[in-house]
């Protein structure tokens, strides 16, 4: 029998009693672990906890990592959201980084708590992990978040706070998104998500700020892209596929590919670089296009050269009837995207707009045509700021450079190449002046040569024309002579 006299009073006795109590608890726990299956044990623990917890004013929501086989989006969002809420009081953090990531991911560790406030409501998050059952091969660690707050705010938490967490997480993901470049030639895909496309991170640093283009044109393109991504409902209302086509044309080195990279970096859309010459049939094309994702840019470079795919010999084709043609491609892209693609941008580039198939130019096909042309003074200023860190118009040589640029055809790529030759501003700009002058002389010489050639050709043509005229005259004369002969002969026979 237990009596009050049995209660230990001295510290030593208290310690001994506590030690023996703990030992027997541990023994009981380990016996229970062996005898009672995990599920039942978990159930009993939570039932007992529920029975013995005094009625609380708090409510706790459980957010499991998965729902059945599928990941729970609220869990994933919470994980991202809580990364932004880590306070200096947090004691343990988990750090990770995949090869693709640029920065470390910092996340809370199991058992850690984070206190958040939303509209003056205090919300406690706890990250809970349960160990896998050692006796079962299939069991794995389960992870969930517990969200605890005052019961009276239940509706506000469910209707406003959790949607807010989801939206914030999406925004963070957008910010952190690494734009990818998919290419069918690329042999690997780190994320294993590209299907038949290999991918690498798009490391192209081009942004709209660094692009040498007329500011108005730049603003117009940015405005167009902004409008496009905002207009989901509009496209739905008018029954059009939510896509936008761009045709970029201009000489090599004027920034067509750079503009595509700038668009991708701006929209945070992945790029699918489609090499049409590697596609042999419509079914091939369908498979490839179907494996691209929404919110992406499909790029077909040098479309005028790709048109030559029509001329491949029939042995290379799987079947003649299945042969890939440009208009087939366009119809297919239109059809496909009308039915299953959302928020797609398609960009064609060409060096020769005049050589393009009219099917590509007809209204409604490529929504925006952009002429990427030779460098202007404005373009030079941007390049000088990018490459040398100077406001291009503040240098003693700026005036000379700008008037040279305005008087000739020089591409941004050529200017960029010159500016890269030295870190020394004076040296680089002097080099650029030299280059521009040399190029101008060469261009003038070429022009003169062409003109000479032309006048030589003209002269030859004139000579040829004169010779032809003389020949005609001669022929006519012969005729007259002949006629004369005939007349004389006729006269003679009379």
Strand residue runs (E) in 119-261: 121-130, 142-150, 180-183, 198-201, 243-249
How would you classify the pairing of strands 270-273 and 368-371? unpaired
Contacts of 284 (CB under 8 A, 6+ apart): 318, 324
228/380 with CB nearer ligand ATP: 380
What is the total count of residues that contact ligand ATP (CB under 6 A)?
A: 15
Q: Is 245 a residue that touches ligand ATP (CB under 6 A)?
A: no
Select the binding partner of residue 255 from ligand ATP, Mg ion, none (C-beta < 5 to 8 A, by kind).
Answer: ligand ATP
Q: Which residue has the tokens 């009625």?
A: 55
CB of 371 to ligand ATP, least distance (A): 11
Helix (H) / strand (E) element for 257: namely helix 256-267
C-alpha atoms less than 13 angstroms from C-alpha of 391 in its C-beta half-sphere: 2
Which residues does residue 96 pair with via DSSP β-bridges, in sequence order? Answer: 105
Yes or no: say if 235 and 241 are a contact pair by the CB < 8 Å rule: yes
CB of 352 to ligand ATP, least distance (A): 10
Part in contact with Mg ion (CB under 5 A); list of ranges 29-37, 164-172, 252-260, 352-360: 252-260
Pull the structure tokens for residue 293. Answer: 């994702």
Residues 382-441 that bind ligand ATP (CB under 6 A): 412-413, 416
Part in contact with Mg ion (CB under 5 A); list of ranges 61-69, 109-117, 254-262, 383-391: 254-262
CB of 281 to ligand ATP, least distance (A): 27
Question: Around Cβ 481, how many Cβ atoms within 10 Å?
Answer: 11
CB of 254 to Mg ion, least distance (A): 9
Separation of alpha carbons 386 and 394, rounded Å: 14
Judged on CB neighbours under 10 Å (0-12, 13-18, 19+), 22 is exposed
CB of 277 to Mg ion, least distance (A): 15
Part in contact with Mg ion (CB under 5 A); list of ranges 72-80, 215-223, 257-265, 421-429: 257-265
304/343 with CB nearer ligand ATP: 304
Residues 177-216 that bind ligand ATP (CB under 6 A): 211-213
Contacts of 268 (CB under 8 A, 6+ apart): 174, 177, 179, 295
Yes or no: say if 351 and 252 are a contact pair by the CB < 8 Å rule: yes
Select the binding partner of residue 253 from ligand ATP, Mg ion, none (C-beta < 5 to 8 A, by kind).
Answer: ligand ATP
How would you classify the pairing of strands 113-118 and 121-130? antiparallel
CB of 265 to Mg ion, least distance (A): 16
Q: Which residue has the tokens 């043509």?
A: 461
Separation of alpha carbons 178 and 180, rounded Å: 6
256/344 with CB nearer Mg ion: 256
Yes or no: say if 133 and 38 are a contact pair by the CB < 8 Å rule: yes
Select the binding partner of residue 252 from ligand ATP, Mg ion, none (C-beta < 5 to 8 A, by kind).
Answer: ligand ATP
Select the binding partner of residue 258 from ligand ATP, Mg ion, none (C-beta < 5 to 8 A, by kind).
Answer: ligand ATP
CB of 377 to ligand ATP, least distance (A): 13
Which residue's Cβ lies closest to ligand ATP? 255
Question: Around Cβ 462, how many Cβ atoms within 10 Å?
Answer: 11
Select the binding partner of residue 194 from ligand ATP, Mg ion, none (C-beta < 5 to 8 A, by kind).
Answer: none
Q: Is 253 a residue that touches ligand ATP (CB under 6 A)?
A: yes
Contacts of 107 (CB under 8 A, 6+ apart): 79, 82, 83, 93, 94, 95, 96
Among 254, 296, 306, 378, binds ligand ATP (CB under 6 A): 254
165/213 with CB nearer ligand ATP: 213
Q: Is 378 a residue that touches Mg ion (CB under 5 A)?
A: no
Select the binding partner of residue 351 from ligand ATP, Mg ion, none (C-beta < 5 to 8 A, by kind).
Answer: ligand ATP
Residues 335-374 that bind ligand ATP (CB under 6 A): 351, 372
211/297 with CB nearer ligand ATP: 211
Q: Give CA separation, 70 vs 73, 75, 311, in Å.
A: 9, 11, 48
Q: Which residue has the tokens 């094309």?
A: 285
Strand residue runs (E) in 131-249: 142-150, 180-183, 198-201, 243-249
8/215 with CB nearer ligand ATP: 215
Separation of alpha carbons 380 and 405, rounded Å: 8
Residues 383-442 that bind Mg ion (CB under 5 A): none
Select the binding partner of residue 392 from ligand ATP, Mg ion, none (C-beta < 5 to 8 A, by kind).
Answer: none
Among 199, 257, 293, 411, binds Mg ion (CB under 5 A): 257
Separation of alpha carbons 38 and 44, rounded Å: 10
- Give the interface with Mg ion as residue ranges (CB under 5 A): 256-257
- Give the interface with ligand ATP as residue ranges (CB under 6 A): 211-213, 252-258, 351, 372, 412-413, 416
């Amino acid at each position: 029998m237990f009596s009050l006299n049995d209660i230990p009073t001295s510290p030593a006795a208290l310690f001994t009693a506590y030690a023996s109590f703990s030992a027997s608890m541990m023994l009981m726990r380990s016996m229970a672990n062996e005898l009672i299956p995990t599920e039942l044990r978990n159930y009993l623990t939570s039932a007992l906890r529920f029975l013995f917890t005094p009625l609380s004013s708090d409510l706790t929501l459980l957010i499991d990592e998965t729902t059945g086989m599928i990941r729970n989006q609220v869990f994933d969002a919470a994980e991202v959201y809580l990364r932004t809420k880590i306070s200096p009081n947090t004691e343990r953090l988990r750090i990770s980084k995949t090869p693709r990531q640029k920065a470390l991911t910092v996340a809370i560790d199991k058992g850690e708590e984070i206190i958040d406030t939303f509209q003056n409501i205090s919300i406690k998050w706890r990250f809970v992990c349960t160990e896998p059952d050692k006796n079962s091969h299939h069991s794995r660690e389960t992870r969930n978040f517990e969200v605890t707050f005052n019961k009276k705010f239940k509706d506000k938490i469910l209707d406003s706070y959790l949607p807010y967490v989801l939206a914030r997480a999406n925004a963070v993901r957008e910010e952190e998104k690494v734009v990818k470049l998919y290419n069918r030639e690329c042999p690997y895909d780190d994320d294993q998500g590209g299907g038949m496309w290999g991918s690498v991170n798009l490391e192209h640093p081009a942004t709209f700020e660094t692009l040498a283009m007329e500011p108005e044109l730049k603003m117009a393109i940015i405005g167009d892209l902004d409008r496009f991504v905002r207009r989901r409902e509009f496209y739905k209302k008018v029954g059009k596929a939510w896509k936008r086509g761009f045709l970029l044309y201009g000489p090599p080195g004027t920034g067509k590919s750079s503009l595509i990279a700038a668009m991708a970096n701006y929209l945070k859309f992945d790029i699918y670089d489609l090499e049409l010459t590697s596609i042999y049939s419509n079914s091939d094309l369908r498979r490839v296009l179907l494996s691209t994702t929404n919110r992406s840019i499909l790029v077909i470079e040098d479309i005028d050269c790709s048109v030559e795919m029509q001329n491949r010999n029939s042995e290379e084709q799987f079947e003649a009837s299945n042969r890939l043609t440009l208009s087939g491609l366009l119809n297919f892209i239109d059809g496909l995207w009308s039915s299953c693609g959302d928020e797609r941008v398609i960009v064609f580039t060409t060096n020769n707009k005049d050589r393009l198939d009219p099917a590509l130019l007809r209204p409604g096909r490529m929504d925006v045509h952009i002429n990427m042309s030779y460098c202007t003074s404005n373009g030079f200023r941007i390049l000088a700021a990018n490459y040398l860190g100077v406001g291009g118009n503040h240098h003693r040589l700026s005036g000379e450079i700008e008037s040279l640029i305005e008087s000739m055809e020089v591409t941004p790529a050529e200017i960029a190449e010159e500016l890269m030759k030295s870190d020394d501003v004076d040296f680089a700009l002097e080099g650029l002046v030299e280059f521009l002058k040399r190029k101008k002389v060469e261009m003038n010489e070429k022009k003169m040569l062409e003109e000479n050639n032309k006048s030589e050709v003209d002269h030859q043509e004139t000579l040829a024309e004169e010779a032809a005229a003389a020949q005609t005259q001669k022929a006519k004369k012969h005729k007259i002579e002949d006629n004369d002969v005939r007349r004389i002969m006729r006269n003679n026979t009379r």
